[in-house]
């Protein structure tokens, strides 16, 4: 469990061969882009390396993962990328959780057990760290690596939109684009294309928008029945809760999500309202602009009433 | 009508005082951010300078334009930023179209009459050019200038999403962010907040989605009645036509927009279909991924039928 410098992390990798790189479950652009970017860099140095993920890789990332065929390797060295804790290894947890040699991540909350840790919570994406590893590794930045790492950066920052973006993020994006990758094609797939299930969910949510307090609060609802009817997967509901807040004049946007144990409330707020204060009143917590709580045993309509009554206290 | 280098453009500005900077009508983030960024830079050099626009500046840009009070100046030198042709000066056209001294723009199609031109169509935004002017001007990059130019870059690239983004765009974004501006607050306003009219339009458009050819084509409709009923302005309909294409499986997305002279057709396509070929069949044209045409005298339902019949030929 030793923290290492970036240079030391590179040195550790250079000493090894037969390297397996683990992604987190519910794989996203950052874990996939970082893993395949690193894998290509290591193979470019003549090493054997493979990527492993406990879940199927979504088809939209095929331009990344189809660049590599699995190699026949002996798995002597285990690296994790973007994996903040053991449970996120999914089905790989029992096999690998106790034998991770090097953990590379950007989550400050990282509590994965590993022989060596390189965690940089200033990095907007783990892909930023992998880019920085290339120089001390002596690896060439190929177009294949560049498009993988660009995907990591772009997807973890909402296309350079969020507050996690730093000057360094843009500097790295510039270097990646200089290789000649078609970055806008990546963004078209990641940010402008909705699955049919997502489209159907958004349409239904929009038609059911419930504005309160003269438009200062908006409530949207997501039920299990809706998810089933539209064949929606986890990927289809990602970020839906922001829909309620992202309308001019709305200070508090609430998504009521029906779950097995009651209703999960996601609160998103403008600077005028503290979403965390709101959720604390219902036994939850979070950040000032994004918080959550659970109303156990409540139906959607019961939850709606509770949410409105609670909002009355702070709006 | 002489083309000048960036250095010469800066030299021309340094020779002058009492400078008026013109924006284009329907002002967007690039023309406003560029104009106020340049104005602040010139004032920082001790010059008198004002910004002028033929249209009201949208309130969402107040964090830019409220940085400056108008000065009492004699308007001896006229600069245009991001204005591609005289008609885009709007109500300022008659007064200024014939006396523009320096035209600064990134539209390759620029045909504004001006004594000196600096047009760089490789720049993703005119804001990129204004940033590059700072050094030869000897102007300091203040936070006020940085947030203005960041807005220009971000809004003209869909937040660094489109193919007009180059490595230079990201390099400049890095420099702007290094000043400590709250770039994510800009993006929240520009990309995540919908006006109530926009929300209502999207909701109505979504409920009326018309999928054809097994989902390969989607048609959406925008009528004058809808615009009136929702009190929509031009800013509210910007980019709506992309909604039809941005769904998985849709190769050709069509927006039928009712106009005084018939129906305007906007076609957006995936790589599998050529939107320009489609529009040419109806007497229009454009780019492979985005094209348009007008069906004169047609009602929305007549246009829909014509569009479907035409699509049959290419899908």
Q: Which of A124-138, A191-205, A264-278 has the highest mean pLDDT?
A: A124-138
For residue B18, count CB atoms less than 10 angstroms from its CB and return exposed for 0-12, middle for 13-18, buried for 19 or more: middle
Tokens of A192: 């402008």
**Any idea what DSSP says for residue B57?**
P
Chain A: closest CA distance from residue B160 (Å): 7
Domain ranges of chain A: 2-191, 196-311
Cα(A299)–Cα(B179) distance, rounded to whole angstroms? 49
- Dihedral angle at the C-alpha atoms of B149, B5, B88, B170, nearest 10 degrees? -30
Tokens of B25: 């009508």
Do the Cβ atoms of B170 and A163 come within 8 Å?
no
Helix (H, G, I), strand (E, B) or coil at B208: coil
The per-residue pLDDT for B200 is 96
Q: What is the pLDDT of residues A106-123, one digit of tens each?
A: 999 899 999 999 999 999
Mutate to test the interface with B, among A150, A166, A174 (most CBs of B within 10 A): A174
Cα(A13)–Cα(A21) distance, rounded to whole angstroms? 11
Cα(B46)–Cα(A26) distance, rounded to whole angstroms? 56
Cα(B147)–Cα(B181) distance, rounded to whole angstroms? 6
pTM (2 d.p.): 0.88
Cα(B98)–Cα(B51) distance, rounded to whole angstroms? 18
The per-residue pLDDT for B87 is 94
In A125-246, the DSSP E strands lie at 210-212, 217-222
**Any idea what DSSP says for residue B90?**
G
Mutate to test the interface with A, among B199, B217, B232, B271 (most CBs of A within 10 A): B199
Residues written for chain B: 315
Nearest CA in chain B to A162: B184
Do the Cβ atoms of A192 and B242 come within 8 Å?
yes
In the predicted model, what is the mean pLDDT of residues B167-179? 98
The per-residue pLDDT for B102 is 98
Phi, psi (5° rounding) for residue A52?
Answer: -135, 140
The per-residue pLDDT for A235 is 76
- For chain A, helix (H) and strand (E) counts, in that order, are 13, 12
For residue B71, pLDDT over 90 is answered with: yes
Whole-number mean pLDDT of chain B? Answer: 95
CB distance B273 to B314 below 8 Å: yes
Which one of 3.40.50.1000, 3.40.640.10, 3.90.1640.10, 3.20.20.140 gives the CATH number of domain A2-191? Answer: 3.90.1640.10
Q: What is the pLDDT of residues B104-129, one digit of tens each?
A: 999 998 999 999 999 999 999 999 99
What lies within 8 Å, CB to CB, of A226 at 6+ separation is A201, A204, A232
Q: Which residues pair with B104 in a beta bridge?
A: B81, B118
CB distance B268 to B244 below 8 Å: yes
Cα(B62)–Cα(B154) distance, rounded to whole angstroms? 16
Do the Cβ atoms of B178 and A167 come within 8 Å?
yes
Closest Cβ–Cβ partner in B161, B195, B248 for A159: B161
The per-residue pLDDT for A286 is 85
Do the Cβ atoms of A247 and B202 come within 8 Å?
no
Cα(B40)–Cα(B140) distance, rounded to whole angstroms? 10
| pLDDT tier at B236, thresholds 50, 70, 90 | confident
In the predicted model, what is the mean pLDDT of residues B51-69? 95
Helix (H, G, I), strand (E, B) or coil at B84: coil
Query: Within 13 Å, how many C-alpha atoms sit on residue A7's CB side?
Result: 0
Tokens of A4: 């290492």
The CATH architecture to which A196-311 belongs is Roll (3.10)
Do the Cβ atoms of A161 and B187 come within 8 Å?
yes
CB distance A153 to B157 below 8 Å: no
Interface residues of chain B, partner chain A, Cβ below 8 Å: 158-163, 165-171, 173-175, 177-178, 182-184, 187, 191-196, 199, 202-203, 206-207, 209, 215, 242, 246-249
In the predicted model, what is the mean pLDDT of residues B145-158? 97
For residue A1, pLDDT over 80 is answered with: no
Do the Cβ atoms of A167 and B175 come within 8 Å?
yes
């Amino acid at each position: 469990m030793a923290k290492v410098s970036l240079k030391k992390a590179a040195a550790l990798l250079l000493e090894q061969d037969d390297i397996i790189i683990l992604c987190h479950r519910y794989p996203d652009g950052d874990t996939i882009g970082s893993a395949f970017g690193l894998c290509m860099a290591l193979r470019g140095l003549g090493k054997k390396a493979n990527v492993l993920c406990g879940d199927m890789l979504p088809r939209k990332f095929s331009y990344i993962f189809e660049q590599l065929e699995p190699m026949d390797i002996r798995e002597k060295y285990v690296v994790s990328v973007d994996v903040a804790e053991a449970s996120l290894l999914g089905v790989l947890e029992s096999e690998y959780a106790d034998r991770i040699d090097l953990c590379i991540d950007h989550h400050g909350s990282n509590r994965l057990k590993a022989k060596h840790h390189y965690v940089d919570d200033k990095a907007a994406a783990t892909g930023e760290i992998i880019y920085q590893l290339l120089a001390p590794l002596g690896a060439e930045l190929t177009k294949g690596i560049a498009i993988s790492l660009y995907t990591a950066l772009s997807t973890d920052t909402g296309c350079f939109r969020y507050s996690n973006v730093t000057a360094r993020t843009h500097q790295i994006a510039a270097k990646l684009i200089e290789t000649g990758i078609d970055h806008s094609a990546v963004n078209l797939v990641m940010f402008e294309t909705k699955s049919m299930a997502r489209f159907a969910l958004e349409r239904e949510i929009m038609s059911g928008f419930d504005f309160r307090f003269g438009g200062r609060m908006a409530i949207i609802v997501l039920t299990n029945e809706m998810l089933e009817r539209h064949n929606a997967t986890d990927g289809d509901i990602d970020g839906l809760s922001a829909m309620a807040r992202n309308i001019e004049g709305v200070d508090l946007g609430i998504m009521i999500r029906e779950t097995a144990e009651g209703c999960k409330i996601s609160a998103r707020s403008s600077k005028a309202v503290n979403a965390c204060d709101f959720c604390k009143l219902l036994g939850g917590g979070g950040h000032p602009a994004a918080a959550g709580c659970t109303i156990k045993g409540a139906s959607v309509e019961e939850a709606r009433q509770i949410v409105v009554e609670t909002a009355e206290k702070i709006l």
